[in-house]
A and B are shown apart, each in its own frame.
Chain A
C-alpha cells in the first residue's frame, strides 16, 4: 500500500506540489518567526555580554518600575570613591548611558527616528570594550566618538561635526574616533562616546552616574559583589556582569517577546488557510479516484488499506512540505527583518540561529496540519463500496448528513461566538482573554465554512450577476460551474475568506482608531499647537515650555509630564500617571465626571484625580486612598478627589501635582507642551517661529498643529496596517493557490465537456474567460463572507471599548477596494488553469476518459 500511495502521489505531481506549497508557506512562516526572534535575542545577548566583557561587577540605580521611555534613574557620583576602596577592586569607573538625539551639522536627525541612540561616557581602557576602527579616543569636551555603522549610514567621518542632544541641552562635537563592539549588528541603534564630565554635562547628570563598572583583582565576581554591596546604599543595585547581562536580556525578551507571538499569530492564519487547501485537494482527489478505490476493494483491499494509502500520501506531503518549509524559513526570517526595517523597526542581528525547537516544531506542525486536514477525505475514501469500480457513482450525500452538517455548523458558530464574548466580557486577564477571543474566532470561522456550501448558490448568483450582464454566456457558465459543487467552491472560498476576514477586521478597527483619535483631538484640545519629542514618546526639556511662551503670538504654554507607576494593593499593569501645569484648563478640555477645573487647580501633593475607567476597573471611588510604587521606589499614598473621562488617551490613568511628579516619580521633564495662541495670531507664522526655536535650541522637540498631530498618529497606524497587510499577504497567497488548485482539478474533471464546448464553436479566449470568471466568482464569495465576518468581529471587539470613546467607522472605500482586489486576485489565480483549459486539444479532450 505504501508504494501504491507514493506512486499515486507521483502520478499527481502537480496537485501534490500545490498542496505541499500550502504546508511549505505555513511552516516557513513559523520557522522564520523562530529563527528571526531567536537571532534577535541572541544578538542582544551578544551585545550585552560584549559590552561587559572586561567588567566583573556593575552598580546601577534600582529601577522599580520600568518606563515606556526606557529612561533609568541615575545615582550620586559620590559613591565611586567608596567603591574604589573596596578590597579586590582593581578599576572602578562611573559611566553615563543615556538615550539622546543624534544630529548632523544642519540639525537634521541621523538615522531612524525610533531607533534607540545613546550618549555614553568613554571608560578607562581596563574596562572599555569598544574598539576604535579609525581615529582615537575623545580627549576633551569638544570631541566625540561615534559607532562606525551609524557614521557610515549618515555619511559622517573623522573631523565631521556631530550634534548630540539630551532632553536637557544640545552641543556640537568633532568626531575623532569611530568605534565598534563585537560582531553583532546593532540594527538601527547607535552610540556616541564623550569624555565623562562632558557626558554628565550634556545629559544634565552633573555629579551623577548611570552606572559604575568594576573590574576585580584576584577575587571572584560573586565575592566582589558581596563586598561592594556592603558599602552602597539600598537605592542602588549591585550585580555581577553576568547577572546584569541576564537581566538586560530578560527585559528585552519581555519588551519584544510580543513580536514573536504576533508573528506566530500570522503564521497560524497562513497555516489555517493552508489546511483548507489541503482538505480541498484531498477531498477532490478522493472523489476523482472513486473508481480506483472501488477497483482496489474488488481486488480484496480492506478499508484500512485504502485509508492507510491516503494517510501515507498525506504524511509524505506533510513531511516533505515541512522540510522545505524549514529551509524556506531562513528566507522568511530575512524577509521579515527587511519588512521591519522598512517600517523603522531596525533590530540587532547576528548569525541566524536555529534551535532544535525550531526544527521540531516545524516538522510537527507541517505533518500535523497535513494529517488533520486530510483526515476527513481519507475517511471518506474508506466508504467507497467495491461496486464503485463498475459504476460512475458519486459518494453519497445523504440528506440526513446535510442536516447534521448544518446543525454542527450552527453549533460551532454559536460556541465560537460564546467564546468570543466570554473573552471580551468575561473579565479574564490579557493572555487568557486574547486566547478565548482568538479561539472563538477560529471556531466561528470553522462554523461558517461548514455552513457556507449553503451560501454558495445565492452568493455566486450575486457575485456572478455583473459578469453575466457583461459577458452573457461565459459569465453564466462560470457562475453555474461554481454552483455545481457547492462544497468544493465553499472550501476554496473559505480559504480566502479567512485572510480577508482578518484584513477587514484590522482595517475597520484601524479606521475606528483613526477616527476616534481625530474626534478626541478635536474635542479635547483648545490649544492650537503641541510640542513633543519627535519620536512621540520620549520626554523633552522642561525649559522648552518657558522658551516657547516667550515667542510672540503665544499666549501661554502648559505642560504635561508622565511616568509609569505600579498600583499597590490592587490589580497589575502599569498605569500612566500624569501631572499638569496649573494653567491646563486653558488648553485642555477635561471631561469631568467628578469635580471640575477647580479640583485640578486646588490639587495638593497628597491627592490624585483618577481616570474613570481606571477607577472603575480597580473599584476605587472618591475619598479612597491609593498607593503607588514609583520608578525610584517611593510609595506615595494619595486620596482620590476627582474623576474624569479621557477619550484622547492623553492624561493616562492618574493625575497628580507637578511637585509630587518631580519628587516621588522622579520626572522633571515634559512629555507634551500645549501651546495656546494669542487671539488673532497667525497660527502658521507662530508655528514657524516655534519650529525655528526648537531646531536651534531643542532639536529633539517638534512642533505640531492639530492636523499634524492627527496625521502623525494616522501615519503610525497606517505603518502598522501596512505591516499587518504584508504579513497577511502570505495567507492570501496560499488561498490563491487554493483557488488555482481547485480550478485545475475541476478542469481536469470537465475535460470532455470543455472539448465539446470547443467543438461547437467556443474559442480559446471564451474558455479562458469562463475559467477566469469562475475564479473571480469564487474569490468574491470568499471576499464577501470575509468582509461580513471581519466587520462582525470588529463590531464585537469594539463593544467594550465604547466607554473609552472608541467608535467604529466603516471605511467603505477601502472595503470596495478590497472587493476589487479580491476579483483581481481571482484573475491572477486563474492564469495557469485558464491557460491550460484553453490549450486543451479538442479531439483528445473529446476522447478523454
Chain B
C-alpha cells in the first residue's frame, strides 16, 4: 500500500452553504478533486475563499450540503459520531494553528496521545525515529509551556504522524511561526511525505510554505481556480497576484 499511487481522498460535487435565505453564504461551490497517496498538497486562496471549509469537509469535521467525500475507499459524509471518531483514530492526523498540545502532558506524552487515546502501544523504534526527526532530544519530558512555538508545532506534526494515518490535515500549521521555525515544520512535513510515504493536505497563506508542496490548489469564492505544481515561492506569489 505504501507506494501505490492510488487516490486516497476524492471529493465529488462538494458544496457547502452556511445560513439560509438572503444571508446564506456559499463557502464551497461544486468542488470536485482527488488527492493521491504519498503526495503533499497545499491549498491557498484569499481569506474567506473556503480553504478551511474544504479541509474540514475532507476530514469529516464538517458535512457538505451537497456532494460526497470518499476517504480511503469509505464514504464519510454520512458517518455518525462513533464512526467518525474511529475514522479520526485510524486514518487521520491533524495539525492546527494554535492549541495543538495539552498543557498538562509532557512533549512525549503529547506526541503519543493519539495512540494513548486509542489504547494502543507505540512502536518504540518508530517513536525513537519520530523524536529524532522532530529534534526533540532531551526535551521529551518538558511541558509545552517550556517549549518554543516552533518546537511545539514540530511536536504537533510528529503527533499527527505517530499513528501512521492515511492523511495528515494541517490548517495553517506555520501561521503563528517565524520563518526559521516555519521552515523547520515544513521540512518535517516534506520529510514525512518523502521518507514515510505520508499523504499531507495543508492549508496555508504563506507562498514559501506552498513551495514545499508537490501540488498547489487555489480557491476563490469557493471554487478551485488553479490546480498544478507550485514551483518556487516567487512563482506562487505571482500566481496569487493573478487570483486576488
Contacts and interface: CB of A to CB of B under 8 A. Distances in A.
Contacts of A766: 117
Contacts of B114: 760-761
A846 interface: yes
B100 interface: yes
Interface in A730-763: 752-753, 756-763
A473 interface: yes
Contacts of A472: 116, 119
Interface in B80-123: 81-82, 85, 88-89, 93-94, 96, 98-100, 102-105, 113-114, 116-119
Nearest to B82: A763
A752 B99 contact: yes
B117 A473 contact: yes
A835 to B, nearest CB: 14
Contacts, number: 62
B142 to A, nearest CB: 15
A843 interface: yes
B79 to A, nearest CB: 13
B159 interface: yes
Contacts of A473: 113, 116-117, 119
A746 to B, nearest CB: 12
A484 B104 contact: yes
Contact of A761 (B81, B103, B118): B118
B61 interface: yes
Nearest to A472: B116
Contact of B88 (A477, A484, A759): A759
Contacts of B99: 752-753, 756
Interface in B168-222: none
A771 to B, nearest CB: 14
A285 interface: no
B56 interface: yes
A483 to B, nearest CB: 8
Contact of B104 (A481, A759, A764): A481
Interface in A460-496: 472-473, 477, 480-481, 483-484
A34 B65 CA distance: 62
A761 B117 contact: yes
Given A477-B102, A481-B104, A843-B61, A757 B117 contact: yes
Contacts of B163: 761
Contacts of B61: 759, 842-843, 846
B234 interface: no
Interface residues of B, number: 26
A113 to B, nearest CB: 59
A757 B105 CA distance: 13
A757 B85 CA distance: 11
Interface in A356-407: none
A472 B56 CA distance: 30
Nearest to B94: A759
A843 B88 contact: no
B96 A756 contact: yes
A843 B117 contact: no
B96 A846 contact: yes
Interface in B12-42: none
A764 B80 CA distance: 12
A843 B62 contact: yes
Nearest to A766: B117
B159 A762 contact: no
Q: Which residue, of A758, A759, A762, has the highest number of chain B Cβ atoms within 10 A?
A: A759
A763 to B, nearest CB: 5
Given A473-B116, A477-B104, A480-B104, A764 B96 contact: no
B85 A756 contact: no
B104 A763 contact: no
A471 B100 CA distance: 23
A473 B102 CA distance: 12
A757 B61 CA distance: 13
A843 B159 CA distance: 19
Contacts of A757: 102, 113, 117
A766 to B, nearest CB: 7
A472 B112 CA distance: 13
A758 B88 CA distance: 9
A843 B56 CA distance: 8
B63 to A, nearest CB: 10
Contacts of A484: 103-104
B88 A761 contact: yes
A759 B93 CA distance: 8
A702 to B, nearest CB: 63
B215 to A, nearest CB: 24
Contacts of A481: 104
Given A843-B56, A843-B61, A762 B100 contact: no
A69 B201 CA distance: 89
A71 B113 CA distance: 76
Contacts of A758: 85, 88
A472 B103 CA distance: 18
Nearest to B99: A752
Interface string A558-570: 0000000000000
A843 B99 CA distance: 14
Contacts of B103: 484
Contacts of A843: 56, 61-62
B85 A764 contact: yes
B104 A760 contact: no
B122 to A, nearest CB: 13
A760 B96 CA distance: 11
A753 B82 contact: no
Contact of A763 (B85, B93, B94, B159): B85
A756 B88 CA distance: 11
A757 B114 CA distance: 9
A756 B98 CA distance: 10
Contacts of B116: 472-473
A756 B104 contact: no
A762 B85 CA distance: 7
A764 B103 CA distance: 21
Nearest to A752: B99
Given A473-B116, A762-B117, A843-B62, A480 B85 contact: no
A764 B159 contact: no
A481 B99 CA distance: 16
Contacts of B105: 477, 480
Given A477-B102, A484-B104, A843-B56, A760 B88 contact: yes
A473 B104 CA distance: 12
A763 B84 CA distance: 9
Interface string A762-785: 111010000000000000000000
Contacts of B117: 473, 757, 760-762, 766
A842 B61 CA distance: 7
24 contacts: A472-B119, A473-B113, A473-B116, A473-B119, A480-B105, A481-B104, A484-B103, A752-B98, A752-B99, A756-B96, A756-B99, A757-B102, A759-B96, A760-B93, A760-B113, A760-B114, A761-B85, A761-B117, A763-B82, A766-B117, A842-B61, A843-B61, A846-B61, A846-B96
Given A756-B100, A761-B163, 20 more contacts: A481-B104, A752-B98, A757-B117, A758-B85, A759-B88, A759-B94, A759-B96, A760-B88, A760-B94, A760-B113, A760-B114, A760-B159, A761-B114, A762-B85, A763-B82, A763-B85, A764-B81, A766-B117, A843-B61, A846-B61
Interface of B: 56, 61-62, 81-82, 85, 88-89, 93-94, 96, 98-100, 102-105, 113-114, 116-119, 159, 163
9 closest A-B pairs by beta carbon, nearest first, are A480-B104, A761-B89, A473-B116, A763-B85, A843-B61, A761-B88, A752-B99, A760-B114, A761-B117
